[in-house]
Amino acid sequence: MSLITSTSPHATVKNNTGAFMRQVIYATLPGLAVLTWQFGWGSVINVLWAVIVALVSEALFLKARGRNIAFYLKDYSAVVTAVLLGLALPPTAPWWLTLIGVSFAIIVAKQLYGGLGMNPFNPAMVGYVLLLISFPVAMTQWLAPGEPLSFVQSWQLFTGQLPVDGLSGATPLDTFRTVQSSATDTANALANQGILHGQFAGLGWEWVNLAFLLGGLYLISRKIITWHIPVGFLAGLGLPALLAWLIDPVRFADPLFQLFSGGAMLGAFFIATDPVSAATSRTGRLIYALLIGVLIWVIRSFGGYPDAVAFSVLLLNLSAPFIDYYTQPRTYGHKSSNRGVS
Amino acid sequence: MSQAQTNKTRKTRSVFARLTSGIRRPAKIHDFHGGIHPPEMKHLSNGTPITAGPLPQQLILPLNMHIGAPAKPLVAPGDKVLKGQMIAEPIGAVSAAIHAPTSGTVSAIGPRPIQHPSGMDAVCIVIDTDGEDQWIEHQGTIDYTEKSPAELVDLIRHAGIAGMGGAGFPTSIKVNLGDHQRVEQLIINAVECEPYITADDRLMRERAEQIITGIHILQYLLNPRRTLIGIEDNKPEAISAIKRACKGCDIEVRVVPTKYPSGGEKQLIQLLTGKEVASGQLPAQVGVVCQNVGTAYAIKRAVCDGEPLISRVTTLTGDGVSQPGNYEVLLGTPVRDLLAHGNLAGLDIGRLVMGGPMMGFTLHNPGVPVVKTTNCIIAASPEELPEPPPEQPCIRCGSCAEVCPANLLPQQLYWHAKNDDLEKAQHHNLMDCIECGACAYVCPSHIPLVQYYRYAKAEVRQQAADQVKADKARQRFEARQARIEQEQAEKEARRQARLEANRKKKEAGPTAASTVDVAALKQASLDASKAYKAAVKAAKAAEAEGADNLAELKAEADRLKAVADKAKAAVRDAKDGAPVAAAPAEDTVAKLKKQVGDASSAYKAAVKVAKAAEAEGADNVAELKAEADQLKAAADALKAELREAKTNAPASAAPVTQADPVAELKKQVGDASSAYKAAVKTAKQADEDGADNAADLRAEADRLKAVADQLKADLRDAKANAPASPAPVAPTASTAAAAEQPDPVAALKKQVGDASLAYKAAVKAAKQADEDGAGNAADLHSEAGRLKAIADQLKVELRDAKAAAPPTPKAAPATTATTDSPAVPEEQAPQSLAEVDPEQAAKRQKRLKGLKTAYNMAHKQYKEAHAAYERAERNETASADELQAMQGKIDKLKAKADNARDALDALVEEAKADIRAHTGKDLKTLKLEAARAESALADKQQELEQQRSSASEDTLEALSSELQALESETQIARKALKQAVEEQGLAE
């Protein structure tokens, strides 16, 4: 008989990285559904196109690097990157915008660093920031919520046959930014801007964020992610917002508005939780996420950009190894945990 | 109101009751970080009672079933063994005995595949079973408390009991902690947390009473404050069985939740006590001793039943066997036989695991035997334990960190291990990993994490070992460097001391009265001798002319002779007295010498007077001659006495006398030579005068010559011996010797002068005889030639002496210095001759050549003389007297040739000694050293061979480095020997 010789353990969970990634994709579906409900088919088209671009880019570079293409495509990591970036782009994005963003994310931010597990930055956010800086107009043209476009309209936008100018409108965060910087009486101005007021947060976006929160809770329940990063993220964003709003409710937006507008929930449960570029110890993850949240609130309240998930995540990606060195757990049999670099 | 009060009181009481009863309530079960819940798979075998395992045809018993030194076999192939007979005894502290699991014959002791993760072979005792299963006589202890703990520990050690849980640490060590170690908790590990394994479960269900007895023995040995049994809650039957068995005793049963790896020693300690065993320490250091439940059972069997550890309960399970179950398997049973016993289901075994699925290892060969630690054999189908999926990239998901019971960051450890960044891996506490495999079990990327950690740990250990080795090497190097420096410094100091001594001597030379005196006296003595000789000549000339003032001249000559003698005596006194006044033995010798000298001169004077009288035809010639003879006899007697004194002196007196014999002999030689010469002269004169007693005189002269030759030979011997003899010379003695050294030269010079004079006189006599047409002219000529040869030889000797003299003063400091090193005492003497500069070597070469020539010449002369004698005899041309004379001459020549030969040999010896001193060691020492080095090398090689199988890697490393060092040493010794042999060959 021919016997397998291997080292212990001889049993492993029936699980794999691909399954992990697929769970993440499934968890984004509620959010995608609400986006489609609020803004039309643009996001679905974006996501599908992004997935195609990602798979092709990944395959090309795996071939160039002499790797087993099928084996690595099956880990679904490229698909996750594509889906997240596709969700983050405005539904009005033309095909070339997605192409540039996704291919840059996969090729430069991921494969050039050595592929899955080796990238120091979140690839989707690298692609997003590239587009935001290079094409600020195209990246900020969101549609008015609650008035979804038909599939044909969306397709025409995607192919560039329909000019986006007449359709696009301001997001609640855009509006907030505008009134905050121009009006002396923010409260009055806000009262006039209907877009800011949905049931409990910005109109339309509150549902989008709720949907992503739902997907995130699913991920936690499936132990795909731990609670540390979302909780840290939301606390980092929500607590300063609450504090500032209590002090000066005229100048600062209320915490619910902060937590349920823009990419807050998507960032908290799907973006910041990318394990490859995040801190890795439990305490480290909490600190990492907390700082992302704080940074988002700071940029939203005082910075030049209406939203700041991508910037904050990338900045904290930079700090993750450093955080890890100072947040090692106390090992069994040791009086205290190790600190710093050896 | 009262109701409320009662309620309040009850409440208070219940709180109080709870507080007080809290002591009796089962203590809290703590938790440890992480852990996993793999499918338990225990249902496969936990319903089957323990049954006897197979009795295979062959049992294979590795000598190292435990941690520590392998046991030492007590049997040889062919020996009959009985069940329970000890077949290998424990060696060293950490070891355990091995017993024959059944009766049979030892068929082999040699390497067999064993239970090693890398499929290694190891030395095993192979027993061919005879099927009779016949026990050796054995006896248990009814009441173990009658035995002392030490006796029980020894019993456990010789029963071969080692941890049955998996590690196999010899139990005798763990139960023998010493008095200073207080055991707070004795923890019996009955957790059996690994999937599949049910051996302990069944053991507890079926033999709980015996286990409890074993625990009592452990309590007796360790005297713990509390005894806890930890059992996982997935074994309810075992829990109730144990609880029943220990009812009424002080053993507490603790049920822990099912979680892997709660059976890990550290995890169980944390679960039951909340204590953590500090990193790198043993549980005993926190007052805890852990023993496996199977070990407790084995202890009971050994102590109470007298049965050593020869079998164990092993779970045979997995899809691959149709009858999974628990078997009491004889140690050494090949897994193949056990599988057959459990009805191997078919060919579909994908993986054969010894131990559990989490920490066991795969077997590559089903012939591997069951050992003391084998708690489980899993024969799994490929579906059950499939081949591990290909490794995917780590995404740092952190699942591993969530389950790590040591609370490590396995994902970080993996990165550092993979990048060979051992420093960072250690910083992340790599060495605290218990290799439980929980991380690898949950890893979604199927990374064999444990393998990475094992690799990194091995690397770290290797680096540590290398570091230790490097440190040792550095220390060795530094020590060697220091030693060399010290040696250099010592050498330099010696050199300086020598230079200093030389300088001082030089300075002291002109100022020291004794030395000056000796030199001056010598000169005076020489002058006096010369004057005396001149006077004698003048007297002779006057005699020949028949001058009137003959008597006057003779008197003058006598006076001069007396002066010369006095001077000589003074020189001798100065020489002997100055440096060695303290030695009384020396004094007698010196005195005797003087007496001898005086006697000789008196005798000579008498002879002369007699001759003169004879020449004058005086009446009292006979009387005078008789007197001369008498004097001669007295001189001889004195000489004999002197010789005796001298031979006694060196032995009895201080080593100071070492150098003296040579000088004395030289003096004697000088005396003898002059006596002989005088005799010859007299004889010649008598011949000339046609005196009757000419023949007598000649014979006398010959006898004197022989004496002189003998003395010369003695002198040469003495010279040859003096430097070679071991002289533990004190510095003062050395200087004394040094002070005496120049003397022989002077004496020789005198001798040379005398010999030249004698030769010249002989030539003159011969010429005169020619002129007179005397018959003995030819004889005289040959005599003259002979004298010339003597003179030449003396000259050569003088040269030798001169050459030899300078190095001697140098020798003194060198000798004192070398006495410091006791390792090579035999080197001292040669070293005193050492430090030969090339100039001296060249001189010796010249001397060698000179001696060779002298010898050749003498030999030729002897041959010629011999031939002449034979010719004369054949032709009958010569008279009987002439023939006799010729015979004497031949003898003389022969003696001379022999002497020359001796001198040559002595010189060669000296050269050898020099070479020895030059190379620092003599040939014999070198040979010895080479042999010693070689035998040391062989020993070390043997030791290495012996240790190879048993010792740790570190020891082996150390041994092999030692071996290398010895090898190089041997090579050096060989080289030195070869070089010395070559050098000596050249010299010879």
* Residues A6, B393: C-beta atoms closer than 8 Å: no
Nearest to B613 by CA among B524, B686, B708: B686
Cα–Cα distances in angstroms (integers) from residue B388 to residues A71, A73, B380, B747, in the given order: 15, 20, 14, 103
Return the residue of A nearest to B435 by Cα: A8
pLDDT reported for residue A215: 96
Bridge partners for B957 per DSSP:
none
Decide if B396 and A280 are in contact by the 8 Å CB cutoff. Answer: yes
Residue where a domain stops, chosen among B722, B742, B760: B722
Residues B456 and B432: their CA atoms lie apart, in Å, by 12
B308-351 confidence digits (pLDDT tens): 999 999 999 988 888 889 999 999 999 999 988 877 756 578 88
Query: Helices A282-302 and A228-247 meet at what angle, rounded to 10?
Result: 40
Choose among A6, A16, A118: nearest Cβ to B444: A16
**Helix, strand, coil percent values for chain B (each to nearest 5):** 65, 10, 30
- Looking at the 3D structure of chain B, how many domains does it have? 3
SS3 B379: strand
Same domain flag for A135 and A24: yes
Number of structural domains chain A divides into: 2
User: Nearest residue of A to residue B36 by CA position?
Assistant: A13
How far apart are alpha carbons A297 and A308 in whole angstroms? 8
Please count the other Cβ atoms lying within 10 Å of the Cβ belonging to residue B927: 15
B615 within some domain: yes
pLDDT at B73 (0 to 100): 92
Give the lowest-confidence range in A98-112, A323-337, B574-588, B841-855: B574-588
**Which residue has 């708690």 as its token pair?**
B375
Question: Looking at the structure, do residues A163 and A203 belong to the same domain, yes or no?
Answer: no
Selecting from B39, B366, B392 the residue whose C-beta is nearest the C-beta of A17 gives B392
Pair A292, A224 in one domain:
yes
Q: Please indicate, yes or no, if residue B544 is contained in any of the structural domains.
A: no
Q: Domain for residue A231, yes or no?
A: yes
**Domain check: are A161 and A177 in the same one?**
no
Which of A9, A275, A330 comes nearest B440 by C-beta? A9
User: What's B43's DSSP letter?
Assistant: G
**B422: which chain A residues are within 8 Å (Cβ-Cβ)?**
none
Domain boundary among A143, A169, A195: A169
CB contact under 8 A, A1 and B402: no
Q: Give the per-residue pLDDT at B50.
A: 93
Lowest mean pLDDT of A114-123, A273-282, B21-30, B645-654, name the range. Answer: B645-654
Where do runs of H (alpha helix) occur along B350-421? Answer: 399-403, 410-418
Using CA of residue B631, residue B632, residue B638, residue B641, what is the dihedral sign?
negative
The residue assigned the tokens 């240790």 is B947
pLDDT at B436: 93
Residue A168 has φ and ψ, to the nearest 5°, of -75, 155
In a domain, B795, yes or no: no
Mutation target among A2, A4, A227 for the B interface, most CBs of B within 10 A: A4
A130 lies in the same domain as A264: no
Q: Which of B655, B689, B722 marks a domain boundary?
A: B722
In a domain, A112, yes or no: yes
Would you say residue A93 has pLDDT above 80? yes
Q: Is residue B7 in a domain?
A: no
The type of residue at B636 is D
**For range A145-169, the mean pLDDT:** 82
The string of pLDDT tens digits covering residues A46-91 is 999 999 999 999 999 999 999 999 999 999 999 999 999 999 999 9
With CA atoms as reference, report the closest residue to B660 among B743, B745, B569. Answer: B743
Query: Helix or strand or coil: residue B311?
Result: strand
For residue B280, list chain A residues with Cβ-Cβ distance below 8 A.
333
- Dist. CA B260–CA A11, nearest whole Å: 13
pLDDT of res. B928 = 77
- Adjacent-strand bridge partners of B58: B128
Indicate whether A165 and A189 sit together in one domain: no
- Which residue is closest to A337 within chain B, CA to CA? B428
Residues A308, A191 share a domain: yes
Task: Say whether B395 and A276 touch across the interface (CB within 8 A).
Answer: yes
Low-confidence ranges of chain B (pLDDT < 50): 1-11, 21-22, 512-515, 578-585, 650-659, 723-742, 806-836, 986-988
Residue A183 pLDDT exceeds 70: no
- Strand, helix or coil for residue B192: coil
- Average pLDDT for residues A242-250, to the nearest whole number? 89
Contact A124, A101 (CB under 8 A): no
Peptide bond just before A240 cis, omega within 30 deg: no
Q: What is the mean pLDDT of chain A?
A: 88
**Chain B residues with CB-CB distance to A10 below 8 A:** 351, 353, 357-358, 360, 362, 378, 380, 385
Mutate to test the interface with B, among A332, A337, A339 (most CBs of B within 10 A): A332
Which chain A residues have a beta carbon less than 8 Å from that of B432? 331-334
Residues A159 and A179 in one domain: no
For residue B443, list chain A residues with Cβ-Cβ distance below 8 A. Answer: 12-13
- Contact of A275 with chain B, judged by CB distance below 8 Å, is answered with yes
Indicate the residue among B380, B395, B412 that finishes a domain. Answer: B380
A294-299's contacts with Cβ under 8 Å and 24+ in sequence apart are: A294/A236, A294/A237, A294/A240, A295/A236, A296/A236, A296/A237, A296/A264, A296/A267, A297/A236, A297/A237, A297/A240, A297/A241, A297/A244, A297/A258, A298/A240
pLDDT of residue B729: 40
Domain shared by A71 and A181, yes or no: no
Does the residue A127 lie in any domain?
yes
Does B855 map to a domain? Answer: no
At B718 the pLDDT is: 63
Q: Do B398 and A275 touch (CB under 8 A)?
A: yes
Judged by CB atoms closer than 8 Å, whether chains meet at A281 and B448 is answered as: no
Give A8's contacts in chain B (Cβ within 8 Å). 355, 357-361, 435, 437, 440, 450
**Contact call for B406 and A9, based on CB within 8 A:** no
| Angstroms from B33 CA to nearest CA on chain A | 9
Report which secondary-structure segment, H or E, holds B495: helix B449-511
Q: Quick count: other Cβ atoms within 10 Å of Cβ B837?
A: 9
Residue A264 lies in a domain: yes
Q: Does A295 reside within a domain?
A: yes
Same domain, A253 and A316: yes
Nearest to B448 among A7, A16, A75 (CB): A7
Asked whether the beta carbons of residue B401 and residue A281 sit closer than 8 angstroms, the reply is yes
Q: Chain B contact for A328, CB < 8 A?
A: yes
* pLDDT class of A95 with cuts at 50, 70, 90: very high
- Please check whether residue A227 touches B, CB under 8 A: no
Task: Considering only the beta carbons, identify the residue of B358, B402, B446 that sits closest to A8.
Answer: B358
Q: How far is CA B223 from CA A185, B220, B230, in A?
A: 82, 6, 19
Task: Compute the distance between CA of residue B292 and CA of residue B315 in angstroms, rounded to an integer.
Answer: 16
- Both A180 and A41 in a single domain? no
Same-domain check for residues A162 and A178: no
Contact B397 A20 (CB under 8 A): yes
Establish if A283 touches chain B: CB-CB under 8 angstroms: no
Q: For residue A12, list chain B residues with Cβ-Cβ distance below 8 A.
A: 388-389, 440-443, 446
A286-A289-A292 Cα angle (round to 5)? 150
CA B712 to chain centre: 47
Please name the residue that has the structure tokens 């010449």. B857
Which is more confident, B606 or A232?
A232
Peptide bond into A172 cis (omega under 30): no
Q: Is there a contact between A233 and A267 (Cβ–Cβ < 8 Å)? A: yes
Domain limit, last residue, from A169, A197, A226:
A169
- Which domain covers residue A151, as residue numbers? 16-169
Contact A341 B442 (CB under 8 A): no
* Burial of B152 per CB tally in 10 Å (0-12, 13-18, 19+): buried
Taking residue B511's Cβ as centre, other Cβ atoms within 10 Å add up to 8
Is the residue at A3 inside a domain? no
* Amino acid occupying residue B887: Q
Given A137, A169, A201, the domain boundary residue is: A169
The answer as to whether A181 is a domain residue is yes
Compute the count of residue pairs across chains A and B with CB atoms less than 8 Å apart: 178
A78 — contact with chain B (CB < 8 Å)? no
> Chain B within 8 Å of A336 (Cβ-Cβ)?
no
In a domain, B732, yes or no: no
Question: Residue A8 is nearest to which of B360, B363, B407, comparing CB atoms?
Answer: B360
Is residue B783 domain-resident?
no
Q: Is residue A4 part of a domain?
A: no
DSSP string, B95-151: ---EE-SSSEEEEEEEEEE-S-TT--EEEEEEEEE-S--PBPP----S-GGGS-HHH
Q: Residues A111-135: what's their mean pLDDT?
A: 94
Q: Do A333 and B351 touch (CB under 8 A)?
A: no
Determine the structural domain holding residue B960 and report its residue range. Answer: 925-987
Q: Does A81 touch chain B (CB under 8 A)?
A: no
pLDDT (0 to 100) of residue B583? 44
Q: Cβ distance B803 to B840 under 8 Å?
A: yes
Nearest-by-Cβ selection for A11 from B38, B435, B443:
B38
Per-residue pLDDT band for A182 (boundaries 50, 70, 90) equals low
